[in-house]
Structure 1
Amino acid sequence: MNIGLGLPVDDPGQLLSWARRADAGPFSTLGLLDRLVHDNPEPLVTLAALAGATRRIRVQSEVVLAPVHSTALLAKQTATLDLLSGGRFTLGIGIGMREEDYLATGVDFHRRGRRLDEQIEVLRRVWAGGSYGEGVGPIGPVPVTPGGPEVLFGGFTPAAIARAARWGDGFLGAAPSPDFTDRLFRLAEQAWRDAGRPTGPRLVAQVNVAIGPDEVVAEARANVARYYAFLGDASHFADSVLGTPKEIQAAVGVFTDLGADEVILYCWSPDPEQIDRIADTLF
């Protein structure tokens, strides 16, 4: 089982240290979330820095809110990141749930799914060396990965899963429970079959964790509650953070049984000692 780490965002100055430490260990991927109206670092800029500070670990957005980005610029940024990382970049992509990110950019929140459908078609064409559109030539550089970086779609709706089956290489299940993840994985597999894809999706599960002293776990749960405060009562999300080695081991076992190819353990406390604690727990 491949195990990745989702990076904490409340202390960006520590992220290079996190990346180097994870790269020296057994982890497969470094994931980073995307929000605009929040105090997280911009993901594509940050992942480029992390790719330059590491040699083997993959870097992944979880997930880039594509509709708030310029499509042409996003095509160029992601191709560049794929090239400079030596093909170690995975584009996690989605639409998000927070209207304020769209208000800040003047993009229609209610049209975000349709905009993503339009964007991913253009991204695939540009990465393959085609023109951006009528009267506009190709946008380079050419990605080192043929056809462009690996693309994982995140989402919870039938439309999101159908979009993933049409355009994606896999599906990112960031659901609040294993049962929900199971349903999403099975729907994704069926969608891949319905789309006539010759192979099934790469399935990636995500779960929130914190491992260490009580203050580390408490800090992580407070950060999760703050992140999901737009929903009103975010206590369920905070309480669901896995805070012991046994809980984390059990969750990885469950996701393995559900068919996950990789599990991303999203860390919400900036304490870098968690990297070694998680490694000791799982490897």
Structure 2
Amino acid sequence: MNVGLGLPVSDPPALLEWARTADAGPFSTLALLDRLVYDNPEPLVALAVLAGATTRIRLQTEVLLAPLREPALMAKQIATLDRLSGGRFTLGVGLGSRRDDYKAARIDPHERGARLDRIMADMRRIWSGEPYGEESGPIGPAPTRPGGPEILFGGFRRASIRRIPRFGDGLLCASPLAEMDRVFRITEEEWRTAGRSGRPKLVAQLYAALGPEPVVDEARLHIQRYCGGPQYMDLPAHYADMVVERMLTTPGEVREAVDRLTGIGADEVVFYCWANDLHQIDRFADALT
């Protein structure tokens, strides 16, 4: 099974060295999260920089909060990143659950699902080469793959999963490890019901930190900072504590998770490394061999 790394976001200049080191290792993907009201780097811009620093590893948003963005410009940015990376870009897309992000973007959070559906239809039309509207022609550049890059939808509720066969290629699942089998099977069921051939790509996302106790403690602090606060619309108030408790902290836990996910049909797992210690990359590589 492929294994990717989610990049820490508290020190943006360090991402270049993370990317170069991971590109030289056994990893399949580099992923970056997306928030607006937070001090993370904007993922499309950051991944464009990392595309130039790497040669083979895939680049992925996990997930891009598309409802916060205007579709025509976003489609152009995504296609540009896809082309400049040589087709190595995967668009992980989703809604997000933080009310402050939507307030800052002046978007009604209660309309985010319907807005995402309209945006996906617009971007698919743009990437197909059709005129964007009656008074505008096609918007380029064309993506590397006809119809747009690989698209994975983040989420674990059925309403989100139903978007996968309509607009995408697979699932990004950040639910607890114990629930992923059920979510994978629902995804496959919705894929078949929609009449799609083949099977959806199934990608798991887990939080992890490998190293001495200060590295693990740093990861816990960053997770608490990122996941904490009162702004969630549809998650429990103690969500940050739940995420910290589920974080994997030993090579044995990492290997066990990979074995378990392989057994339920995952195509890839992305381990999000919240601590900045670059040596985590070698520790993950060692844990996987």
What is the TM-score with the length of structure 1 in the denominator? Answer: 0.98
1:82 is aligned to 82
2:45 is aligned to 45
2:133 is aligned to 133
Query: Displacement of 1:179 after TM fit?
Result: 2.3
Query: Displacement of 1:165 after TM fit?
Result: 1.7
Task: Encode CA deviations 1:161-200: one digit per residue, 9 max, x unaligned.
Answer: 001121111111111x222211111110000001000111
Unaligned runs of 5+ in 2: 230-235
Determine whether 1:256 maps to 2:255: no
Unaligned runs of 5+ in 1: none
What is the TM-score with the length of structure 2 in the denominator? Answer: 0.96
Task: Encode CA deviations 1:213-240: one digit per residue, 9 max, x unaligned.
Answer: 1000011011111111135332221121
Aligned equivalents of 2:187, 2:53: Cα separation in 1: 34
Structure 2 residue matching 1:172: 3-state secondary structure: strand
Query: Displacement of 1:137 after TM fit?
Result: 1.2
1:276 is aligned to 282
In structure 2, what residue type is equivalent to 1:68? L
2:232 is aligned to none
Aligned equivalents of 1:278, 1:223: Cα separation in 2: 19
Structure 2 residue matching 1:133: 3-state secondary structure: coil
Query: Displacement of 1:121 after TM fit?
Result: 0.7
What value does the CA root-mean-square deviation take over the aligned residues?
A: 0.9
Aligned equivalents of 2:43, 2:241: Cα separation in 1: 26
Structure 1 residue matching 2:221: 3-state secondary structure: helix
Give the counterpart of 2:252 among 242, 246, 250: 246
Q: Is the 8 A contact 1:221 1:239 kept in 2?
A: no
Aligned equivalents of 1:145, 1:14: Cα separation in 2: 31
In structure 2, what residue type is equivalent to 1:232? A
1:166 is aligned to 166
Moved segments of 4+, more than 3 Å: none
- Answer with 12-21 or 178-187: which moved more: 178-187
1:193 is aligned to 192
- Answer with 21-30 or 142-151: which moved more: 142-151
Aligned equivalents of 2:224, 2:9: Cα separation in 1: 14
The count of aligned residue pairs is 282
Query: Displacement of 1:156 after TM fit?
Result: 2.1
Determine whether 1:207 maps to 2:211: no
